[in-house]
Amino acid sequence: MRFTSLTQRFAVWFTLVSLLPIFVIGNSFLHTFENEIQKTVIENLSAIADKKVEQIDNYFAERLLDANLLHDSIATRNAMLEFPKVFEEQGVDSDAYRQLDAQYRSHFKRFVEDASYYDLFLISPKGDIVYTQSHESDFATNLMTGPYSQTGLGQVTRHALNHLESSISDFEFYEPSHGAIAAFISYPIIIQDEIVGVLALQIYSKHVFDVLSNNIGLGKTGDTVVARLEDDYTALIMAPLSSDPDAALKRKVELHRPYSIALKNALSGKSGGAITRDYRDVAVVAVWRPLSRMRWGIVVKKDFDEAFANVQRIKEYSMIILGITLLGVIFGAFLFNRRVVTPLKQLNQGAMEIAAGNLHQRVTIAGWNEMRQLGHTFNIMVERLNASNQERKNAEQNLRQLNQELEHRVAERTADLQHANTALAIKEEETRSIVEHMVDCVVTTDKIGLILSANQVIEKLFGYTPEEIIGQNVAILVPEPDRSKHVFYMERYCETGHGQQYVGRHYENGSHGIGLGREVEAVHKNGELIPVYLAVSEYFVGEERHFTGVMRDIREHVRIMKDLKQARNDAEAANQAKSSFLAAMSHEIRTPMNGVIGMIDVLRQTSLSGYQMEMANLIRDSAYSLLAIIEDILDFSKIEAGKLEIEKIPMPLASVVENACGMLAHLAQSKNVELTLFIDPKIPANVLGDPLRIRQVLVNIVNNAIKFSSKQEKQGKVSVRVLLTESEPEQAVVTFQVSDNGIGMNKETLDKIFKSFSQGDPSTTRRFGGTGLGLTISRHLAELMDAEITVQSQPKQGSTFVIQMPFRILPATEEDQHKTTELSGLSCLIFGNHEGLGNDLAVYLKSSGASVEQVFDLAAARQFIKHMKSGLWLIVIDAGHQEPPLAELRVAFGERAEALHARIEPHFIIIKRGRRRQARIESIDIVTLDGDVLYRQSLMRAIALAAGRAEPEAEKSPAIDISTEKPSPMSRDEALEKGKLILVAEDNEINQKVIKQQLALLGYAADIANDGREALGRWQNCDYGLILTDLHMPEIDGFELTRNIRELESDKQHIPIIALTANALKGEKERCLNAGMDAYLSKPVQLEDLHSTLEKYLPTNQHHLDDASSPEQTEKPTKKPAEALTDKASIPVDIHVLEALIGDDTQMIQEFLQDFRKNATQTANQLRAAYHEKQLATVGSVAHKLKSSSRSVGAIRLGELCEALEHAGKNNDRHKLDDLMPQFETELDRVDNYLKRY
């Protein structure tokens, strides 16, 4: 059917356009809703199924745990030993059996009733049931041959006896229990590696059935099906069903049926969910899971109709809405037709009238606003057509008037043009005069270079008069080879826009000199080359292209630039000479210093008296101070030369600051200055910066603060605070504030402190020492890092240095996020005065999640304790140099506990002054920590230790790690055999002796070569394990030696080459590595650095020290622990163990032993207190500390006992501790008496 009427078309299309989107969107929504409902139903059923599986699995796990606990009971083990004996010898009707039954029945009854078991069995190794709690018909029968041998009880009993492991049976009808459904758990009882019987427990099925029959969340049709495999084609239902309450162990399901797919998947160990059919052949939504512990399968299901009832209702509602919408659309189409189509017909009729010439036609304004506006616009259009017609007539009249006015204006413009020409002639004359009198030479040419004009300067510059030069080609002023090509250059530019190439520069596509200025050479009339500055521009006269060239004489300028270049070259040569001098100075000073420091390190490893060791340390410290001064001079020289570079590498800012301050902790303590540190926890964990230079700036400033705060009547104090000043997503500004209470400075002194080689007051140099370079270097380094140093100071009041430094923030790593100890949930009370560390401690603790309160005196503390809640409280006392008021606080806590009738556990963390950063357990409830240079993580660990959230760390030996035994030197042949013979290439005799002594001290043998050529020959004739080489030697230096070896070792194994050099300038290490060396050591070489480098690069075969024991010793069989204790008990302390660690210095050994005796007494008191308080875990932790220190000094028997105490404490074995404590006390007395006599 064709619709020709607008009304018909509009009605049809309006209906289609309105209903089609509604139908499409509605159908899509319904389909999506149905999928989501299905997904939600399966997810809900999966959650219910997983919960049921978890509950059943947990139930059986708890039953096995109950059996394990009862199995470990001493009463159970004794009963298992006694019942079989009485059963076999006297029978169950004897008086002895009845007495034994009465003795243990109450014990087992409590367990059976408390754990809700049906029955408990004790079964002899022969399978006889010698005891049951319920005394049913199975009592006194044999589970191997008796009537119940094939029951679940018989099966798990035989499994326990044969395999010596626990097991659980499946549920079955058990005849002795009146046919009730039951399952059994068995656990073998083994005493001294011999099985003495089996403990068995009979459990109810009710708990499991309750879990499975609980249909909460499954609706009216929900059900849970649990089954086990009978055979490959049949499954047995294990629990009641909603539709069949008696189905348990009776009803069977055929697995080959289509409705058994879900159950078959579950029994196959698979998990899943889908829409399927159940054993009733009804559509259901099912979820299946395996129960692996019992080899069951579980299916949780719900009828499809109930699960998708909401979808059906939505479909019904959708059809109703669609019908209502259809009626609305039809009504809207009818209304729209009346309001739109009828007015359009009227407009069409009016337009036809106007087309016929009736400009007075108007249309009726009717319909909706838009149609009314259309009618109104149509009428306005007609009116404007009338007006336009009238305007056309008026325009024709005006045009005639304009023609007359135009003729009049032409006459006036002709007169104006004559006046303009006159003015132009005057202006042209003025321009010509300006050009003629310019300082620069001005030349104009045509497009091929013919000179059209030139001012008078050309005669002065080139020797040509204007008359001579005009008409010549400008190439006459250009030297060869460009003169002969100049016309070609200009023609090419006019054609392509490409001009003459720049002087000294290769031609580039599109390049030219037009509109640009440059320096070129021109030719004088007499042939002399003249440097000029040339600027060329182009202009057009009509369509003709012309050029203007302005040339300036720059002969004087060129001469000045030549002199400047020569001066710069001279300065660079002088600077290079200075750098070479500094490098030579560094090398020459470090060479003898290497001998001093190296031999001092060797000397310190020998047996020295206390006074001799102090003198040796003083010499070593003085040598390093001299090296520090040399480094400052080198840095200052680099800064002056502008060659000091700042790195931008990822770094943990807090660790950099802590390390810098930690380096100065010993200096502060030696000068009796209290050094404290606070780092804002809000500072980002990782930033971009130069850790070396930041550390250098901080060390310089803090070192000065310590120096100028010492030697006073009052206690010297230096405070380092690092605060986050500004923070943006990618950048942060950190403020470093170093304050002291030293001598201070006046304004005149402040003006001079950053000047090189000067100090604020000359008297300070005599009193405190110093070079006057530290602050100068620090300021320049800060400026290179975009930072600023400011100082505030008052004489005798101290000084404050403030550094504000920007950093780019890096994302925190997962490792950083786990570094900070978590203290959430802990209640802390901080006690300390306003001038101490209390406020900083509060910030640290709050940032880690602790709840913090703060008091400033004892009275306020007592008042706070009066309102304190019960529970664990951590009392952080900032004691400073004073004794903390522990007794008063304990009294206040006791009074509060009595008032509350509840227990309050105060644990004290005492912050003293000192530089030991490891938390120390002083007693059960006291942990101490030193507050000088307090690391945040050390505080957090101390708090966690006091709260029981962390284990104490083992104490380290005070002088040397037990692993650093002093080795005996190898012979050359032995070292060569082991591949550890070292070749040293060194031309300085002192350095030869130093490195040989150091190597011998570390247990290595070495050959010495006096230069690189000798070293190369030795290497070619001997298999060395490693080469240590100086860089600057006669004949062949270290670099050439390395290159020769690398070229020749193609058929040999790669040999490590380590550089030894006194040149500490930057770039030397990279130069060594690029030359083929493996590592770099700067002289003077410290023993620790040399040792670690040799350990890294020498062959990894076992060190000869490992072979120190004799072959007979290595062949001895390992002794049992009891035998080992017996052997080591012969003497309380083996002094040879300590001598192997620290040498044979008698005085030092005696100091170590007496320190151990003192610490052992304190630790033993802590151990006893924890033992009496029944804090077994603490006993293990304290015993661990005493174990390591006992073994270090040679108290082997005491160490073994501590190890046994540690294991017993960690395992909560009270009986074992009761046995060990008397032995511990006896051995401790033996050690103490021995050390008294030593």
Enumerate the domain spans of the chain. 73-204, 215-307, 438-515+529-553, 561-641, 647-809, 820-948, 972-1098, 1120-1237
What is the reported pLDDT for 731? 92
What is the reported pLDDT for 642? 62
Residues 6+ apart with CB under 8 A from 186: 67, 123, 153, 156, 157, 159, 160, 166, 167, 168, 198, 199, 200
What is the reported pLDDT for 1104? 39
Whether 960 has a pLDDT exceeding 50, the answer reads no
Q: Half-sphere exposure of 620 toward its Cβ, with a 13 Å CA cutoff? A: 18
What is the reported pLDDT for 1138? 67
> Mean pLDDT over residues 589-595, rounded?
68
Tokens of 1005: 């043998």
Whether 1123 has a pLDDT exceeding 60, the answer reads no
Of 89-98, 920-929, 1063-1072, the one with minimum mean pLDDT is: 1063-1072
Q: Which CATH class is domain 1120-1237?
A: mainly alpha
Q: Which tens digit of pLDDT belongs to each residue from 526-543?
A: 988 989 988 888 888 877
Architecture of the domain spanning 972-1098: 3-Layer(aba) Sandwich (3.40)
Whether 765 has a pLDDT exceeding 50, the answer reads no
- Of 641, 522, 532, 629, which is closest to residue 581 (Cα–Cα)? 641
Average pLDDT of the chain? 79
Residues 6+ apart with CB under 8 A from 750: 760, 791, 793
> Mean pLDDT over residues 139-149, rounded?
90
Architecture of the domain spanning 438-515+529-553: 2-Layer Sandwich (3.30)
| DSSP state at residue 789 | E
pLDDT band, residue 576 (cuts 50/70/90): low
Whether 427 has a pLDDT exceeding 80, the answer reads no
Tokens of 491: 């023609």
Give the CATH number of domain 647-809; options: 3.30.365.10, 3.30.565.10, 3.50.50.60, 1.20.59.10. 3.30.565.10
pLDDT band, residue 628 (cuts 50/70/90): low
* CA dist., res. 62 & res. 114, Å (int): 13
Dihedral sign (CA 409, 411, 415, 417) = positive
How many other C-beta atoms are found inside a 10 Å radius of the C-beta of residue 767? 13
Of 222-236, 452-466, 974-988, the one with minimum mean pLDDT is: 222-236
Whether 782 has a pLDDT exceeding 60, the answer reads yes
Q: What's the CATH number for 215-307? A: 3.30.450.20
- Of 340, 378, 374, which is closest to residue 359 (Cα–Cα)? 378
* CA dist., res. 885 & res. 857, Å (int): 10
Whether 478 has a pLDDT exceeding 80, the answer reads yes
> Mean pLDDT over residues 1166-1176, rounded?
86
What is the reported pLDDT for 284? 83
What is the reported pLDDT for 1014? 92
pLDDT band, residue 769 (cuts 50/70/90): very low
* CA dist., res. 325 & res. 328, Å (int): 5
Residues 6+ apart with CB under 8 A from 283: 275, 276, 277, 303, 304, 305
What is the reported pLDDT for 1126? 39
What is the reported pLDDT for 535? 87
Of 23-37, 228-242, 787-801, 1147-1161, the one with minimum mean pLDDT is: 23-37
> Mean pLDDT over residues 651-669, rounded?
86
pLDDT band, residue 1118 (cuts 50/70/90): very low
The span from the first CA to the last CA of the chain, in angstroms, equals 126
Q: Which tens digit of pLDDT belongs to each residue from 321-356?
A: 777 777 777 777 677 666 666 777 777 777 777 777
> Mean pLDDT over residues 122-139, rounded?
91
Whether 73-204 and 215-307 share one fold: the answer is yes
Q: What's the CATH number for 561-641? A: 1.10.287.130
What is the reported pLDDT for 834? 79
Q: Which tens digit of pLDDT belongs to each residue from 269-328?
A: 888 888 888 777 788 888 888 987 778 888 888 777 777 766 667 777 777 777 777 777
CATH 1.10.3720.10 given to domain 73-204: no
What is the reported pLDDT for 1106? 39
> Mean pLDDT over residues 629-637, rounded?
64
- Of 631, 567, 654, 619, which is closest to residue 940 (Cα–Cα)? 654
What is the reported pLDDT for 1125? 37
SS3 state at 53: helix
- Range with top average pLDDT, 915-924, 942-951, 1046-1055, 1117-1126: 942-951
Of 210-224, 240-254, 999-1013, the one with minimum mean pLDDT is: 210-224
Judge contact between 164 and 190, C-beta under 8 A: yes
Q: 704-727 as b/e, with b when 16 or more CB fall inside 10 Å?
A: bbbbbbbeeeeebbbbbbbbeeee
pLDDT band, residue 622 (cuts 50/70/90): low
What is the reported pLDDT for 331? 74
Judge contact between 472 and 451, C-beta under 8 A: yes
Is pLDDT larger for residue 740 or for residue 1106?
740
Look up residue 377 and give its amino acid: T
Whether 200 has a pLDDT exceeding 90, the answer reads yes
Whether 1105 has a pLDDT exceeding 50, the answer reads no
pLDDT band, residue 8 (cuts 50/70/90): low
Of 130-144, 660-674, 684-698, the one with minimum mean pLDDT is: 660-674
Q: Which tens digit of pLDDT belongs to each residue from 820-859?
A: 567 888 899 999 887 888 899 999 999 888 999 999 898 9
pLDDT band, residue 776 (cuts 50/70/90): confident
Task: Provide the percentage of residues in the chain whose pLDDT is more than 70.
Answer: 81
What is the reported pLDDT for 295? 83
Mark out the alpha helices in 605-678 (DSSP H runs).
610-641, 653-663, 665-670
- Range with top average pLDDT, 114-123, 535-544, 798-807: 798-807
Judge contact between 208 and 52, C-beta under 8 A: no
Q: Which contacts qualify for 336-345: CB closer than 8 Å, 24 or more apart? A: 336/10, 336/14, 337/7, 337/10, 337/11, 339/367, 339/368, 339/371, 340/10, 340/367, 340/368, 340/371, 341/6, 341/7, 341/10, 342/366, 342/367, 343/367, 343/371, 343/374, 343/375, 344/6, 344/371
pLDDT band, residue 514 (cuts 50/70/90): low
What is the reported pLDDT for 1116? 35
Q: Which tens digit of pLDDT belongs to each residue from 985-1039?
A: 988 776 787 788 888 888 899 999 999 999 999 998 998 999 999 988 888 889 9
**Secondary element (H or E) of residue 1045:** helix 1038-1048
What is the reported pLDDT for 387? 77
What is the topology classification, in CATH, of domain 820-948?
Rossmann fold (3.40.50)
Residues 6+ apart with CB under 8 A from 976: 1005, 1022, 1023
What is the reported pLDDT for 1139? 66
Can you spell out the DSSP letters for 265-306? HHHTT--EEEEEE-TTS-EEEEEEEEETTTTEEEEEEEEHHH
Is pLDDT larger for residue 613 or for residue 824?
824
